[in-house]
Amino acid sequence: MKNLKLFIPFFIFVVLSVLLLKGLGRDPSALPSALINRPMPAFSLPDLHEPDERVTEEIFKGHVSLLNVWATWCPSCRVEHPFFMELAQEGVRIIGLDYKDQDPLALEWLDKLGNPYAEVFVDRDGALGIDLGVFGAPETYLIDHTGTIRAKHVGVVDEAVWRELGALYRQLVQESGR
Amino acid sequence: MIQINKLMFYLKVVPLFALALAAFSAGAVIEIAPLSSPELESRYRVLIEELRCPKCQNQNLSDSDSPIAADLREQIRVLLEEGKSDEEVIAYLVDRYGDFVRYRPAVQPSTWLLWFAPLGLAGLAFAGVFLVVRGHQRAKKQAAKLSVEEQRRLNTLLSSSSKPSDKHL
């Protein structure tokens, strides 16, 4: 009994070590989105290519889509751009949200680097960004065919990220087909 | 002569510049215009102290220079001017950015551990101290109580040692 007592600090040490070790592997900048499983917030924003046309949340109804929040001032967006080009070629529907950017620069970017987006609309003052809980670019949302946000990824979408996100995407596409 | 004038100029301007810098860094953010009433302004100050910038790992909205913190400060000003209560403003942000933005987390089942674990741990520590102290006191008391046989032995030991022999010294 007395010997067991001597081991108490050691047990506490072991438990703490395990907890701290687990904490080491976590990415502190990965915030859970508050909007998972909630409908896409209502909005009405101009189309990048035809500024007189308005794009609303209706654009997400009927298709599973990715919503990519990007901007020309964002270096990581340039990094992930080629991967989105690939995804678009595979038939993934990607909607672009040009976030707090200048239209001419955005148009020039798409001309030069290619346009992976089925539709691009602009949020010049970041109002929809706040409704979406955007705190930087790039951010990518997975939205199902009912217009409900199902997943969010903060940062560059690359092959490693797509392994998980893509699996969910395909699952949602299958579900919507039924 | 010109050079001395120049020197005097720098001697005057540089400290002034440093002072201005110090003034700017002392207060967290200098806003363009205060809110419409001092009451709103003071509530705004408290809110941006208590709300965390979602982009930054450990800065409140007041301290952060990131664009999103500026946007959120602006949004809070708008909401306050619209007559929203502090709770409504906090709910607005939590709704969009999650509980992460609160530096003072809500008391809810998921944060019970956070709020009450320190109390529980303090309680455990006090209980531990109490038990150890009581254990010592009991041991002392038991040491003090001697059986008749032990008392007799003690007496003989004491009486024998009352005549100290040279060996022990």
pLDDT in tens, A105-144: 999 999 999 999 999 999 999 999 999 999 888 999 999 9
CATH number of the domain to which A172 belongs? 3.40.30.10
Confidence band (pLDDT; 50, 70, 90) for A98? very high
Q: How many Å apart are CA A38 and CA A34, to the nearest integer?
A: 8
- Residue A89 is assigned to a structural domain of this protein: yes
Provide the 3-class DSSP secondary structure of residue B17: helix
SS3 (DSSP) at A44: strand
A95, part of any domain? yes
In a domain, A47, yes or no: yes
Residues of chain B contacting A129 with CB distance shorter than 8 Å: 71
Q: Are A152 and A35 in contact (CB under 8 A)?
A: yes
Mean pLDDT of chain A: 92
Q: How many CB atoms lie within 10 A of CB A151?
A: 18
How many interface pairs between A and B have CB atoms less than 8 angstroms apart? Answer: 37
- The answer to whether the Cβ–Cβ distance between A34 and B54 falls below 8 Å is no
Report whether A71 contacts A99 (CB < 8 A): yes
Residues of A in contact with B98 (CB under 8 A): 31-34, 133
B75·A100 Cβ contact <8 A: no
The residue segments making up the domain with residue A65 are 29-177
Give the minimum alpha-carbon distance from A178 to chain B in angstroms, rounded to a whole number: 31
For the question of whether the overall pTM of this predicted structure is more than 0.90, the answer is: no
- Asked if B96 and A133 come within 8 Å (Cβ–Cβ), the reply is yes
Structure tokens at A135: 């705190």
Q: To the nearest whole percent, how much of chain A has pLDDT over 90?
A: 80
Please give the average per-residue pLDDT across A73-77, as a whole number.
94
Candidates A28, A131, A136; nearest CB to B96: A131
Q: Which residues in chain A have their CB less than 8 angstroms from residue B100's CB?
A: 31-32
Alpha helices in B82-111 (DSSP H): 86-97
User: Mutating which of A12, A124, A130, A131 best tests the B interface, going by the most B Cβ atoms within 10 A?
Assistant: A130
- pLDDT for A23 equals 85
Mean pLDDT calculated for residue range A90-110: 95
Look at residue A136 in the predicted model and tell me its pLDDT: 84
Instruction: Identify the pLDDT of residue B142.
Output: 78
Q: Which residues contact B89 (CB under 8 A, 6 or more apart)?
A: B47, B76, B79, B80
Q: Which pLDDT belongs to residue B148? A: 85
Residue A16 lies in a domain: no
Say if A14 falls within a structural domain.
no
Residue A148 lies in a domain: yes
- Considering only residues A51 and B23, tell me which one the structure prediction assigns the higher pLDDT: A51
* Mean pLDDT computed over A147-173: 93
Nearest beta carbon to residue B97 from set A100, A126, A133: A133
What would the pLDDT profile of A10-43 be if each residue is shown by its tens digit? 999 999 999 999 888 877 767 778 889 999 999 9
Report the number of distinct structural domains present in chain A: 1
Alpha helices in chain B (DSSP H): 2-26, 38-50, 67-81, 86-97, 112-144, 148-161
Choose, out of A135, A141, A152, the residue to mutate when testing the contact with B (most B CBs < 10 Å): A135
Residue A33 domain flag: yes
> Does residue A115 fall inside a structural domain?
yes
Regions of chain B short of the pLDDT cut 50: 24-27
